[in-house]
């Protein structure tokens, strides 16, 4: 999905797009012939288009085929599944052996793949699980039923990887294109710029940050918010507090420039949300590329090594967020250099090329 598509379609998310783009490039760098079958997600008709999208909204850097479907309530899942069945059957008939990866165990993907496997049982099918409702509520039975017949699963969540009752599984959270932080001189000045990049909505962890900013009385702090969506609470705060700016959705280059100017990054999450254990906030690794402090809770979906580079806000009370803001203010150049070294140790193991190699080795192993 390109920037035009991300801006137009409400169901498409920048974070997931960046993650998918990185992994596909990593696979291509390792010699894989990658083909993408891409339904474009829009709001259900009549709020969204009846047949969403066209090829102009797809990232031209990949060999992609648009999957058209009827975007009508009660029909969409079956329509997407039927369209995928047709294109996947044709593809695997032409190119064998084939390995199919799908984004989350959604019904349309799983239904399509089970149909393909009836005719082509030699096809390897792997679910890449980016997030999931709490699987402990039914002891993973919904997940097991949806993915029955799959060759294995890849989990972004560390907790998910550790606890999933899956015989063949891999932990692979996210990646970067360079093992080195993006060079930006540290600014040891009183004014600190905090950047948030993600969905703007009145749920999740954003209300915690809003409450914390209201309580935090440093006039030199600056808070910049980027992303799709709307948050009335955030808009109200920005209208009354000159320290807060809301930019909405911006291009990759604009976001990169803003992050380069930041002194620290915000990664809020509601730790009590029922799906928290199955989430890896990919924005964390994006933030870490800039070598600056990241403020947020140490979620169960994060691998243990992230604890060394995260300013943990615990359960996200305003006081804990305030303590984290003050920690950023007090960091010395030595502490920032030490943090950068720790971050590069994480980045070094997570280039998209190396992640692509790990995934390729995993899906090709017996």
Give the per-residue pLDDT at 13. 85
Give the per-residue pLDDT at 34. 93
CA distance 18 to 23: 9
Sheet holding 244-248, edge to edge: 244-248, 221-226, 192-197, 264-266, 294-296, 310-312
CA distance 5 to 164: 34
Cβ distance 232 to 201 under 8 Å? no
Cα dihedral angle (224, 229, 233, 239), rounded to 10 degrees? 50
Q: How far is CA 174 from CA 84, 285, 350, in A?
A: 26, 7, 7
Which residues, including other chains, have CB under 8 Å from residue 354's CB and lie 6 or more apart?
26, 175
pTM: 0.94
Give the per-residue pLDDT at 185. 62
239 burial level (CB within 10 Å; 0-12, 13-18, 19+): exposed
Low-confidence ranges of the chain (pLDDT < 70): 184-188
Give the per-residue pLDDT at 236. 97
């Amino acid at each position: 999905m390109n920037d035009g598509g991300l801006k137009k379609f409400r169901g498409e998310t920048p974070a997931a797009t960046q993650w998918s783009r990185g992994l596909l490039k990593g696979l291509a760098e390792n010699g894989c012939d990658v083909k993408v079958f891409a339904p474009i997600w829009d709001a259900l008709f009549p709020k969204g288009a009846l047949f969403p999208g066209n090829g102009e909204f797809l990232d031209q850097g990949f060999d992609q085929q648009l999957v058209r479907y009827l975007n009508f309530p009660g029909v969409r899942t079956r329509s997407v599944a039927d369209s995928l069945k047709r294109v996947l059957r044709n593809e695997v008939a032409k190119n064998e052996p084939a390995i199919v990866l799908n984004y989350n165990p959604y019904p349309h993907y799983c239904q399509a793949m089970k149909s393909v496997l009836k005719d082509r049982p030699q096809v390897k099918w792997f679910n890449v699980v980016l997030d999931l409702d709490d699987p402990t509520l039914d002891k993973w039975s919904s997940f097991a039923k949806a993915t029955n017949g799959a060759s294995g699963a890849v989990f972004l969540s560390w907790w998910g990887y550790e606890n999933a009752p899956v015989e063949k599984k891999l932990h692979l959270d996210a990646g970067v294109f360079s093992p080195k932080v993006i060079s930006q001189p540290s600014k040891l000045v009183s004014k600190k710029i905090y950047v948030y990049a993600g969905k703007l909505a009145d749920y999740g962890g954003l209300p915690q940050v809003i409450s914390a900013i209201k309580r935090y009385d440093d006039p030199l702090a600056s808070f910049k918010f980027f992303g799709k969506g709307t948050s009335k609470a955030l808009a109200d705060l920005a209208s009354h507090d000159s320290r807060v700016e809301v930019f909405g959705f911006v291009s990759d280059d604009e976001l990169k420039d803003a992050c380069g100017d930041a002194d620290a990054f915000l990664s809020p999450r509601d730790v009590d949300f029922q799906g928290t254990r199955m989430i890896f906030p990919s924005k964390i690794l994006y933030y870490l590329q800039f070598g600056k402090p990241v403020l947020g809770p140490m979620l169960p979906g994060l691998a243990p090594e992230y604890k060394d580079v995260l300013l943990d806000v615990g359960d996200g009370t305003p006081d804990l967020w305030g303590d984290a803001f003050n920690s950023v203010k007090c960091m010395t150049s030595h502490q920032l250099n030490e943090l950068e070294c720790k971050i590069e140790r994480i980045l070094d193991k997570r280039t998209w090329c190396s992640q692509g190699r790990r995934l390729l080795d995993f899906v090709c192993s017996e």
